Chains A and B, each alone.
Chain A
Amino acid sequence: MNLGFELNGKPATLEIQPRETLAEVLRGRCRLTGVKISCEAQVCGSCTVLVDGLPVSACTLLAYEVRGKRVTTIEGVAEESGKLHPIQQAFLDHFSFQCGFCTPGMILAAKALLDDDSNVTDEKIVAHMNGNLCRCTGYLPILKAILQAADEMRGQK
């Protein structure tokens, strides 16, 4: 079947199988391997992408569900010039990852939160990010990065 959607700001048209998940399409057909597969059960958040700005587990969403919608993956977060998004920069500044496997999903989940409202508190961040697991960092460096990015994004508005 034919799938038309907006991928990282550009129109995309693909021939897909009806049974394919969004993660399979993005990783396999589009070679966007920043979409990471782990639990395959909507528990870990590592496959998080944004669909119309909202965080979604790509591992369990059938790809045809995004027809006509805007999909953002980690590959589409930085500016075309290569300039990092404030969240990406903050993750670097605070050492908010080690193995990096959860990082794309973390950054996208945080982006959904801060794009919606950058007036965040620790509690709001924890509640929003609770569906994204990290086994390396102990979470504090991620929390600090999101707070820093929120500051910067408020300044930009």
Chain B
Amino acid sequence: MKPLSEFQVVNHSVPRGDGIAKVTGGAIYTSDMTLEHMAWAKILRSPFARARIISIDTSEARKQPGVIDVLTGYDLKGLHPYYGHGVKDHPLIAIGQVRFVGEPVAAVIAETELDAQEALAWINIEYEEMTAILDVDTAIAEGTPRIHETDFADGSFRGFDDFPGAAGNICQAVHVGWGEVDAAFASAAHVAEGEFYFPMVYAYAMEPYVAIADFDAKGHLTVYSSAQHPFMVRHDVAHVFGLPLNSVRVIVPYIGGGYGSKSYTKIEPLVAACSWKSGRPVKLQLSVEEAFLTTRGDDARVRIRTATDANGILVARQATIHLNTGAYAENSPMVCRKAANRIVGPYRIPNVKIDCFAVYTNTVPASSYRGLGGAQVTFPGESQMDELAEKASCDPIEFRLKNLAQSGESIHPGMRPIDADIPGDIREAAKMLHMDRPVTPGHGRSVCCSASDAGAHPVTLAMVQVYADGAVSVLSGSTEIGQGSHTVLAQIAAEEMGVPLEKVRLIGSDTAVTLFERSTGASRTTTLMGRAVLEACREAIAQIKVMAQEVFAAPAENLVEERGGLRSGETFLTWAQILEKYFKMEGCSIVGRAYLRKAGDLNLIPVFWEIGVVGAEISLDEETGMISLDSLVTIGDVGLAINPAMTEGQDLGAATMGLGAGLFEELIYDGQQLMNGSMLEYRVPRFSDLAKNIDMKLVQNRDGVGPYGAKGGGEGAVNPISPCIANALYRASGVRMRTLPLTPERVWKALKEKKGKAL
């Protein structure tokens, strides 16, 4: 393996490729785009959580100034209006029924956004309200009507072994287990048991959902969208309109944040239907309030128990997880699968039984949220580790070290063994947090960890174009969502091709130009697309080496590869020079390509284990219940950081996002109505929530399957931060919190109750 010191571009914190555009206002997002003759759509949304649509009268709306057309569920003849990559249960606009407050019921297409908005008031809809099913317990109770009265077809995504799931209002059920759990609990020395709740959260990507759809005269459809997974959008939209894949072109400009909330298909089928109906290019720009009504994270109720033997060695874990999935499946079947896997944690546990259910309710559909189930289950899992440590009279760090899987050890039978040094990470975090120093009264410290089966399903195709003038283009279907993929992929291409970084250009994402990449999420891009780009470069070089034999008039064994080209005796030619001499024509380029799939060393799932390790010291104001962060430490066990500064940026960003759910963020329903669906009422972390001391470290053991041993790192730190704070709070105050977020009110009440009991 090439030593770190020999890398010219990789493993260096080079400036971001999109940097100048983003600091000068030159970066164009979908929300900044307009097309010639473009019309605008606005959406009328359901005021009821569950109701039948008796009639929709659009005649008055059609007469309003500027109105071109109106689209409702009655206008979809000839289309396949239900989409969904997991379960095709999602109508692109309500058909005959509404299932949550905020569901799109009608769309006005007009010359201006204002015209469209004003015409909405002229649409008359008659509903017949039905009893709404608003919580998980009601949804799964016997005799409760089904939210979806029919069974739906599978989506394109077939990554689940038991899919589509279950019946009634259970959208998906996943069961994970091994060993003999009951016997293990019966003979255990220490058992901790409890019920935990992780709140309903909203990712708040600052650019709300937006898409432009344009059916051209030939019937080809172009969609511009702020979407993480353009190829998944293409699949769904092509299905809706019965189009071949090459008739749907999805282009993703810069994306204003996603964090999972822009994964898979959102408003694109609806916008495309507006263009189909009106014959115009149509833009739909949602407001943040509408984005709140589009996708959220699954809230989770987790009943969990964990046991050790007399020596503090874990013997069993059992959990029942109920995810409140909302009205449509979206990506919750996958969240369900991942939550079930991830609640085991990075520990060696011989007896495990996990039952996880994604449950339909008449609330905003839940889908991916950074960490995909990891945050929801690491909170109970790691909280319980501390509870057990106390019962076993063991230091929480020592307790974890005793039970953590070592590198190469398997935690899930049949899955890839752990490819990280988690005990080393924990020791390092404890050192950085100065766990050995005495704690000020009112303060508490904790270190927590998580292991996520990351990378999703490995199908990733890439191309590089090598030009005879020394330029290189990387054609990548991974979206640049801010994580810095366009910089990292360029670094890999520059490293491999031996060209200056400035000579590398990133093209994408554009489904008509770039090859298939399943998704941009699950921290996969550096690992999978990075490796595909590396292999595509090597494949281009292999082609040039064949050409070189003619150019040099020398057999292969006389040609020695040096960085950037080939040498034969005194003569060195760059790859570009060889191409120029071979084609004897300016402007030529060749294509190198790589097709990664679930095979070879990518056959074992997961692609890699994503490790989250964070430590925190909190201070508690007992008068108010307010928690503030004194210190935050993160460890990024990433194999190799292609761009160390950006990698640390992922850790801090993920930890901060997790801090939001830990301390402030919670969507609150009062009956059918989401009560705090605006940024005035939904509190996310701000500048003033920044920890006083922040220390970040990258661990680079080059133990991943990605390029040069790299692994992903975008989601790790989001998972363990909330239990870390809850555990630190326990150590500061003796109060064990099992419901997030830890708002001052909630903490203050718990402190009062504890004092009351003590009296």
Chain B residues positioned under 8 Å from A118 (CB to CB): none
Within 8 Å of chain A (Cβ to Cβ): is B16? yes
Chain A residues positioned under 8 Å from B460 (CB to CB): none
Residue of A nearest to B22 (CB): A100
Within 8 Å of chain A (Cβ to Cβ): is B547? no
Binary interface encoding of chain B residues 3-32 relative to chain A, with 1 for a CB under 8 A from any of its CBs, else 0: 000000000010110111111111111011
Q: Does B205 contact A98, Cβ atoms closer than 8 Å?
A: no
Q: Does A139 contact B25, Cβ atoms closer than 8 Å?
A: no
Q: Does A95 contact B16, Cβ atoms closer than 8 Å?
A: yes
Q: Does A38 contact B208, Cβ atoms closer than 8 Å?
A: yes
Q: Does B207 contact A129, Cβ atoms closer than 8 Å?
A: no
Q: How far is the CA of A78 from the CA of B566 in the complex (A)?
A: 43
Chain A residues positioned under 8 Å from B684 (CB to CB): 133, 135
Binary interface encoding of chain B residues 112-142 relative to chain A, with 1 for a CB under 8 A from any of its CBs, else 0: 0000000000000000000000000000000
Chain B residues positioned under 8 Å from A74 (CB to CB): 23-25
Q: Does B688 contact A107, Cβ atoms closer than 8 Å?
A: no
Chain B residues positioned under 8 Å from A46 (CB to CB): 206
Most buried by A among B482, B484, B689: B482
Q: Does A129 contact B687, Cβ atoms closer than 8 Å?
A: yes
Question: A109 to nearest B CB, angstroms?
Answer: 10
Q: Does B688 contact A78, Cβ atoms closer than 8 Å?
A: no
Chain A residues positioned under 8 Å from B31 (CB to CB): 36-37
Q: Does B19 contact A36, Cβ atoms closer than 8 Å?
A: no
Chain A residues positioned under 8 Å from B23 (CB to CB): 74, 84, 88, 91-92, 97, 100, 103, 107
Q: How far is the CA of A150 from the CA of B29 in the complex (A)?
A: 30
Contact of A88 among B24, B257, B287, B678 (CB under 8 A): B24
Question: B175 to nearest A CB, angstroms?
Answer: 35
Contact of B254 among A92, A100, A129, A140 (CB under 8 A): A100
Residue of A nearest to B29 (CB): A101
Within 8 Å of chain B (Cβ to Cβ): is A7? no
Q: Does A95 contact B649, Cβ atoms closer than 8 Å?
A: yes
Within 8 Å of chain B (Cβ to Cβ): is A102? yes
Q: How far is the CA of A138 from the CA of B655 in the complex (A)?
A: 8
Question: A60 to nearest B CB, angstroms?
Answer: 12
Chain B residues positioned under 8 Å from A32 (CB to CB): 25
Q: Does A38 contact B655, Cβ atoms closer than 8 Å?
A: no
Q: Does B481 contact A78, Cβ atoms closer than 8 Å?
A: no
Chain B residues positioned under 8 Å from A130 (CB to CB): 686-688
Contact of A136 with B688 at beta-carbon distance under 8 Å, contacts A97-B22, A103-B23 already known: no
Q: Does B256 contact A100, Cβ atoms closer than 8 Å?
A: yes
Q: Does A99 contact B255, Cβ atoms closer than 8 Å?
A: yes
Within 8 Å of chain B (Cβ to Cβ): is A41? yes
Most buried by B among A40, A78, A95, A135: A135
Residue of A nearest to B648 (CB): A95
Q: How far is the CA of A136 from the CA of B29 in the complex (A)?
A: 16
Contact of A137 with B18 at beta-carbon distance under 8 Å, contacts A100-B256, A104-B25, A129-B687 already known: no
Contact of B645 among A35, A39, A95, A107 (CB under 8 A): A95
Chain B residues positioned under 8 Å from A93 (CB to CB): 15
Q: How many positions in chain A have a CB within 8 Å of any CB in the partner chain? A: 51
Q: Does A135 contact B257, Cβ atoms closer than 8 Å?
A: yes
Chain A residues positioned under 8 Å from B653 (CB to CB): 98, 135-138
Q: How far is the CA of A136 from the CA of B651 in the complex (A)?
A: 10
Q: How far is the CA of A129 from the CA of B484 in the complex (A)?
A: 24
Contact of B205 among A40, A104, A135, A141 (CB under 8 A): A135
In chain B between 473 and 520, which residues have their CB closer than 8 angstroms to a CB of chain A? 481-484
Question: A78 to nearest B CB, angstroms?
Answer: 6
Question: A97 to nearest B CB, angstroms?
Answer: 6
Q: Does A75 contact B29, Cβ atoms closer than 8 Å?
A: no
Q: Does A77 contact B24, Cβ atoms closer than 8 Å?
A: yes
Question: A112 to nearest B CB, angstroms?
Answer: 15
Q: How far is the CA of A117 from the CA of B380 in the complex (A)?
A: 47
Question: B22 to nearest A CB, angstroms?
Answer: 3
- Where chain B touches its partner, the secondary structure class is loop
In chain B between 418 and 448, which residues have their CB closer than 8 angstroms to a CB of chain A? none
Within 8 Å of chain B (Cβ to Cβ): is A34? yes
Within 8 Å of chain B (Cβ to Cβ): is A14? no
Q: How far is the CA of A139 from the CA of B483 in the complex (A)?
A: 15
Question: A59 to nearest B CB, angstroms?
Answer: 11
Residue of A nearest to B370 (CB): A135
Contact of A101 with B657 at beta-carbon distance under 8 Å, contacts A32-B25, A139-B690 already known: no
Chain B residues positioned under 8 Å from A134 (CB to CB): 206
Q: How far is the CA of A25 from the CA of B25 in the complex (A)?
A: 16
Q: Does B649 contact A98, Cβ atoms closer than 8 Å?
A: yes
Which size class do B's interface residues fall under?
Answer: 35 or more
Q: Does A98 contact B24, Cβ atoms closer than 8 Å?
A: no
Chain B residues positioned under 8 Å from A44 (CB to CB): 206, 679
Chain B residues positioned under 8 Å from A27 (CB to CB): 32
Within 8 Å of chain A (Cβ to Cβ): is B694? yes
Q: Does B25 contact A99, Cβ atoms closer than 8 Å?
A: no
In chain B between 185 and 236, which residues have their CB closer than 8 angstroms to a CB of chain A? 203-208
Q: Does A39 contact B288, Cβ atoms closer than 8 Å?
A: yes
Q: Does A138 contact B690, Cβ atoms closer than 8 Å?
A: yes
Q: Does A84 contact B24, Cβ atoms closer than 8 Å?
A: yes
Contact of B657 among A125, A132, A135 (CB under 8 A): A135
Residue of B nearest to A20 (CB): B114
Chain A residues positioned under 8 Å from B687 (CB to CB): 125-126, 129-130, 132, 139, 142-143
Chain B residues positioned under 8 Å from A92 (CB to CB): 15-16, 19-20, 23
Chain A residues positioned under 8 Å from B257 (CB to CB): 99, 101, 135-136
Question: A117 to nearest B CB, angstroms?
Answer: 18
Q: How far is the CA of A78 from the CA of B259 in the complex (A)?
A: 30
Residue of B nearest to A28 (CB): B34
Question: A99 to nearest B CB, angstroms?
Answer: 3
Within 8 Å of chain A (Cβ to Cβ): is B680? yes
Chain A residues positioned under 8 Å from B680 (CB to CB): 39, 41, 43
Question: A45 to nearest B CB, angstroms?
Answer: 10
Question: B263 to nearest A CB, angstroms?
Answer: 14
Q: How far is the CA of A77 from the CA of B21 in the complex (A)?
A: 13
Within 8 Å of chain A (Cβ to Cβ): is B656? yes
Within 8 Å of chain A (Cβ to Cβ): is B652? yes
Chain A residues positioned under 8 Å from B170 (CB to CB): none
Q: Does A99 contact B690, Cβ atoms closer than 8 Å?
A: no
Q: How far is the CA of A156 from the CA of B516 in the complex (A)?
A: 50
Q: How far is the CA of A101 from the CA of B27 in the complex (A)?
A: 9
Most buried by B among A34, A77, A130: A34
Question: B491 to nearest A CB, angstroms?
Answer: 14
Question: B10 to nearest A CB, angstroms?
Answer: 17
Within 8 Å of chain A (Cβ to Cβ): is B611? no
In chain B between 356 and 409, which residues have their CB closer than 8 angstroms to a CB of chain A? none
Chain A residues positioned under 8 Å from B528 (CB to CB): none
Contact of B649 among A34, A37, A38, A137 (CB under 8 A): A137
Chain A residues positioned under 8 Å from B19 (CB to CB): 91-92
Q: Does B652 contact A138, Cβ atoms closer than 8 Å?
A: yes
Chain A residues positioned under 8 Å from B282 (CB to CB): none
Within 8 Å of chain A (Cβ to Cβ): is B646? yes
In chain A between 75 and 124, which residues have their CB closer than 8 angstroms to a CB of chain B? 75, 77-78, 84, 88, 91-93, 95, 97-104, 107
12 sample A-B contacts, Cβ–Cβ < 8 Å, listed by A number: A32-B25, A33-B25, A36-B29, A41-B679, A77-B24, A99-B206, A100-B23, A100-B256, A130-B686, A136-B482, A138-B653, A139-B687
- Nearest first, the 7 A-B pairs at minimum CB distance are A34-B25, A99-B482, A101-B256, A100-B22, A98-B482, A138-B656, A74-B25
B interface with A by C-beta (< 8 Å) = 13, 15-16, 18-29, 31-32, 203-208, 254-259, 287-288, 481-484, 645-646, 649, 652-653, 655-657, 678-680, 684-690, 694
Q: A92-B19, A98-B482 are in contact. List 12 more A-B contacts (CB 8 A).
A: A32-B25, A35-B25, A75-B25, A84-B20, A91-B23, A99-B206, A101-B207, A101-B256, A101-B257, A133-B686, A138-B685, A143-B687
